[in-house]
Amino acid sequence: MVESEYDVVVVGAGMAGLVAALDLVAAGRTVTVLEREARPGGRVASDHRSGFTLDRGFQVLNTSYPQVRRRLDLPALDPRPFTAGALVRYAGKLHRLGDPRRHPADLPATIGSSLLPWQAKLALAAYSADVGFTPVRRLLQAEETTAAESLRRRRLAGPAVDRFLRPFLSGVLAEDQLTTSSRFVDLVWRSFVRGTVIVPAAGMGAIPAQLAARLPDGVLRTGVEVEGVTPGLVRYDGQEVRARAVVVATDPATAGRLLPGLRIPPLRGLTTYYHAAPEPPLTEPTLLLDGADDRTIVNTVVLTAAAASYSTDGRALISTSVLGPTGRDRGAPPDESEIRTRLSALYGVPTDSWEHVDTTEVREALPAAPPPLGDLRKPVDLGEGLFVAGDHRDTPSTQGAMASGTRAARAVLRHLGEAG
């Protein structure tokens, strides 16, 4: 059975696909969006279990992202902010590294902390000032190398990296060797300097839900498994739909299957453990890092300290992330009891009474972004009316996914205009 022809079929209703569809609909094109899951959002999703809101792995939204400011109604999301900065457990002590511009009260503790030598603190402040207030176009013109080498050139090495930057960035990059492109890491650090990290009160899934709600009725179809894509034709569930243009906005692995020959970067995984505690081990919404050489835990945070709405019964919800598995270079994630033991040392409280709520493995959390990335933008127009969008075509972030959807929609409109 062949459906009526559309101007555009968008395969995938993640952040990239939703943005592309919205722009195409706004341009007056007939569009249908086919999504495999029962709801939109892709990797940006939330589940509700045992009285808790559990995001699909630990996720946050940075309010400085240009696409976020342009696309989202942030007040409607009821954003719940995290503290700018981090706490680091090292040598049996809890050290604070705060942003004194936003939290002046953190200045004495940050200056007085023995976690980093004063030279490293000055170098970190200089790095933040540099990338935080340098235009993006100039950052993209800087010499590109690995994050580790770039930080070393900025006199950020040794304790600064091992005790703070490596554990902090590994949760953002899904890798702890700092082999990611220096250009991307500069952009990431810039976003932390300029923006606020938040979660919506209803969970991260509220973000794609807000975008999807703006689509006209009938445009988004969920529970549809696309089996194949060729120029002008999409096959699903034994049916076919014709289109003048097709945008594949799925996860990277599915995009590679639907578009043979498409180069997909290696994918990095993260695993998140959720625990419930009768009392919060920390009452502030601040990321806690492990500054020791153990590196089992990437980061941990009391989510309900930021968003009490994540718990319906008043118990604290703690999110803890570790690297992997990717299914290739890592084995199974650590046992939950091992994680809970380490959390006791990090928070400095007994964890025997904590309930293990869930473990979420996101095997393809982020595309790897090693150098050279150039200007970060990979082509979205594959020719013959086929287009691709997703964070693997831009930066591995919510900003990158949405930006690629924007670029794909523009490319489609150019194609349709030229095709007449």
| E strand or H helix that includes residue 167 | helix 166-173
For 60-65, what is the mean pLDDT? 98
Confidence of residue 294 (pLDDT cuts 50, 70, 90): confident
Inside any domain, residue 23 = yes
Q: Which domain holds residue 256?
A: 6-45+205-265+372-419
Within 10 angstroms of residue 1's Cβ, the number of other Cβ atoms is 7
Calculate mean pLDDT across residues 366-373: 92
pLDDT in tens, 372-383: 987 788 999 999
Instruction: Enter the pTM of the model.
Output: 0.94
pLDDT in the model for residue 44: 98
> Distance (Å, rounded) from C-alpha 179 to C-alpha 294?
19
Beta partners for 263? none
Indicate whether 326 pLDDT > 50. no
| Distance separating alpha carbons of residues 116 and 164, to the nearest angstrom | 9
The label of the residue with tokens 């059975």 reads 1
User: What band does 328 get if pLDDT is binned at 50, 70 and 90?
Assistant: very low
| Contact call for residues 353 and 277 (beta carbons, < 8 A) | yes
Number of structural domains the chain divides into: 1
Residue 419: its pLDDT value, please? 61
Tens of pLDDT, residues 157-176 = 999 999 999 999 999 999 99
| 357 lies in some domain | no
Cis peptide before 75 (omega within 30 of 0): no
pLDDT of residue 327: 36
Token pair of 414, please?
């150019």
Nearest to 392 by CA among 285, 182, 248, 274: 248
| Within a domain: 112 | no
Q: How far is CA 144 from CA 174, 373, 374, 396, in A?
A: 20, 8, 8, 17
Whichever domain contains 395, its CATH number is 3.50.50.60
Task: Give CA 280 to chain center in angstroms.
Answer: 25
Strands 386-388 and 381-383: antiparallel
CA distance 200 to 213: 16
d(CA 414, CA 420): 10
Label residue 103 by pLDDT band (50, 70, 90).
confident
34 within domain boundaries: yes
The rounded percent of the chain whose pLDDT value lies above 90 is: 88
Q: Is residue 270 part of a domain?
A: no
Q: Is residue 10 part of a domain?
A: yes
Max CA pair span of the chain: 71
Q: Are 65 and 398 in contact (CB under 8 A)?
A: yes
Average pLDDT of the chain is: 94
Residue 52 lies in a domain: no
DSSP secondary structure, 126-175, as one string = HHHHHHHSS-HHHHTTSPP-BHHHHHHHTT--THIIIIIIHHHHHHHHS-
Reply yes or no on whether the pLDDT at 146 is more than 90: yes
404 in any annotated domain: yes
Strand residues in 294-385 grouped as ranges (E):
299-302, 316-323, 355-367, 381-383
Amino acid at 134: T
Give the up-direction half-sphere exposure of residue 349: CA atoms within 13 A in the CB hemisphere: 11
